A and B are shown apart, each in its own frame.
Chain A
Amino acid sequence: MAVRKPPITTREYWAPGHAACAGCGCAIVMRLATKAFSEAMEEKYGDPDAFAIAHATGCMEVVSAVFPYTAWKAPWIHVAFENAAAAASGVEAAWKKLGYKGKILAFAGDGGTADIGLQALSGMLERRHNVVYIMYDNEAYMNTGIQRSSSTPYGAWTTTSPPGKYSIGEDKPKKWVALIAAAHMVPYVATASIADPYDFYRKVKKAAKVDGPAFIQVQGTCVPGWRVPPEKSVEVARLAIETGVWPLFEIENGDFRNIKFQRFPKDGKFKKPIEEYLKLQGRFKHLLKNPEAIQQLKEQIKEMWKVLGKEVELP
């Protein structure tokens, strides 16, 4: 009997023993992304190890490099908060000149991408460096103690967007960096989720195989930051997809008219109400008593889908 190739490689580049919280969604991102990347490198260059990683300061950097250990089984450079894309550009440009065969993988969180690192990301995309940049989006600065970022969703509690008499919590809509990246008309931009690992795996492989820069924004649950139990980590991410909060899409060469969607309901009608997503998370607890704010959030989600060219209905 022929032995089937496993759908996900058994090689590991993100070793056990890292210090991420139980149920950490972003640790899943690291593990899957490096696996997919190595598989792509093997298929493209015949060498699964033909890559290096540039990593901005953030949760996944901290938990993966607790002295004297490292969870990384690949060359890995940790640079300060705003520099992942720029340092990756440097490695890539030098490798190109040196004639090395391989590709660079850059990781940064939403703070390191949407806020302080946006300039470096834009430069990297515009200069067309052959880098895959993965933004692990846990929707706030979790490493420093849960401060808001521009990727924090509307209504969420954080320590710098505390809800109370004068505020509903974060009072601005989420910034979608994937759309900003796509506006650079780069070969490949996608969003992904830890709740659909095969989809994420396929997207990383696809990103790794294109010539030129690629960007993936992947939602990863933060157990302490979102105030969810560890065992609900994947469930809450799945609800984000099923309620229409988190879109899964691919944009190639900035072609906004031909966006490919995944797990999008054919009739544009999401079956589950966003309340189901919200009520699992302590960061939205105060919101459940505020139907107006929930309505506002729904309107924003519809607007976001409209930008993507879809009219949706939210129950």
Chain B
Amino acid sequence: MKYPFPVGTNDFIQGDEAIARAAILAGCRFYAGYPITPASEIFEAMSLYMPLVDGVSIQMEDEIASIAAIIGASWTGVKAMTATSGPGFSLMMENLGYAIMTETPIVIVDVQRSGPSTGQPTLAAQGDVMQAIWGTHGDHSLIVLSPATVQEAFDMTIKAFNLAEKYRTPVVLLTDAEVGHMREKVNIPNPDEIELLYRKLPQSDEEAKFPFGDIHGDLIPPMPIFGKGYRTYVTGLTHDERGKPKTVESEIHEKLIKRIVAKIENNKKDIIEYETYDLDDAEIVIISYGIVARSAERAVKILRKEGIKAGLLKLNVLWPFDFELIEEIAEQAKKIYVAEMNLGQVYHMVKEGANGKTEVELISKIGGEIHTPYDIIGEIKRGL
């Protein structure tokens, strides 16, 4: 297969462009989108590439329609994606819940900008973390990834598709204007070196009768394809294993929702990914994610030179969240700092994880500028 961009080589491209290329290499052949800064470049790249790989790039009338279209497309067996920013992501909340409820594998990219509302369209923020995890109503779970570099944006886009397919769930790639618009060197591997996963399909007519049943004991039902002979019934109403609405039976609701949550929570170890830097003997631990983690890493280097035992935990996955890992770290550390570009979102999860074992402090910055290493160092030194 010929790709409309160079593969098996390095390139110097924007984060948004990297996401578009990675999606195509991950097998995404359906993109539905709506213009919004700072995510429009993903759509523009898809408009150019999709016709050349026999895929679909379609402009919808709004973000509600964009996510609805990729949900529809996903049920035809195609890997599908949309991309947006905060305001559009807010509009997607209803259908994000629908995708969770109907166990539809889709990838949603949120290139975060400062909010609430129209906010600062061209500037970066990390204010959508809680919205990504808890924005849609009702009990649920999903997967949220957070890249810090253009290379990670590329790699995590592929990971997002694999996780979506493996666990039959929506995956949010939560990046920001800084990573989205920054140009960096990216290694684009040969397509045959990329491990790709595809959803579990029903192996028999009998299996196809249970598109929402845990028939293999792994909590993940096989997903039939529209147009391949099954009369699958998909609904956002509470449904039984066959997909038929069961809206007043409390046991059925409880069983369904607990399974949807458990298929993510029970596989935490497989999903969660993090990196550490000088963490082993660290007394001061910085926890960070996304673009801010890069400033935090630099801060650790500088602090170490000054003889302060600092270390970094960089979170690549924001949900599911490894509360146990945070508690382990809290037992070792004298103090934990959470550096993020909001008024405290992951901070609260870290505090819960630390479970009172050590002090947790927030190093917050909003307004569109990233923390400098010295913003972080200054806060830490004040606390010494």
Contacts and interface: CB of A to CB of B under 8 A. Distances in A.
A167 B59 contact: no
A214 B33 CA distance: 31
A150 B37 CA distance: 19
A116 B118 contact: no
B47 A150 contact: no
Interface stretch (A25-33, A141-149, A219-227): A141-149
B61 A116 contact: yes
A118 B61 contact: yes
A115 B61 contact: yes
B264 to A, nearest CB: 31
A144 B62 contact: no
B44 interface: yes
A194 B361 CA distance: 57
Interface stretch (A45-53, A77-85, A234-242, A265-273): A77-85
Contact of A162 (B47, B61, B62): B47
Max chain B C-beta neighbours (<10 A), residue from A82, A111, A147, A165: A147
A80 B117 contact: yes
Max chain B C-beta neighbours (<10 A), residue from A80, A116, A118, A164: A116
Interface residues of A, number: 23
Nearest to B88: A81
B52 interface: yes
A145 B35 contact: yes
A160 interface: yes
A57 B86 CA distance: 14
A82 B62 contact: yes
A80 B44 contact: no
Contacts of A118: 61
B118 A80 contact: yes
Interface in A117-152: 118, 141, 144-145, 147-148, 150
B59 A80 contact: no
Contacts of B59: 147-148, 160-161
A interface: dominant SS: loop
A69 interface: no
A141 B35 contact: yes
A166 B51 contact: yes
A160 B35 contact: yes
A167 B35 contact: no
B34 interface: yes
Contacts of B62: 81-82, 115-116
A144 B35 contact: yes
B335 to A, nearest CB: 38
Contact of B34 (A116, A162, A167): A116
B44 A145 contact: yes
B87 interface: yes
A304 B118 CA distance: 36
B118 A159 contact: no
Contacts of B201: none
A80 B84 CA distance: 15
A144 B88 CA distance: 13
A197 to B, nearest CB: 30
Contacts of A159: 40, 44, 47
B118 A111 contact: no
A81 B87 contact: yes
A160 B44 contact: yes
Max chain A C-beta neighbours (<10 A), residue from B34, B47, B52, B61: B61
B61 A150 contact: yes
A78 B87 CA distance: 14
A116 B36 CA distance: 12
Contacts of B30: none
B237 interface: no
B43 interface: yes
B57 interface: yes
Contacts of A141: 35
Contacts of B36: 144
B182 interface: no
B61 A160 contact: no
B48 interface: yes
A160 B43 contact: yes
A160 B31 CA distance: 12
28 contacts: A57-B118, A78-B118, A81-B62, A82-B62, A111-B35, A115-B34, A116-B34, A116-B61, A116-B62, A144-B35, A144-B36, A144-B37, A145-B37, A145-B40, A147-B40, A147-B43, A147-B59, A159-B40, A159-B47, A160-B35, A160-B44, A160-B47, A160-B57, A161-B47, A161-B59, A162-B47, A166-B51, A166-B52
Interface of B: 33-37, 40, 43-44, 47-48, 51-52, 57, 59, 61-62, 87, 117-118
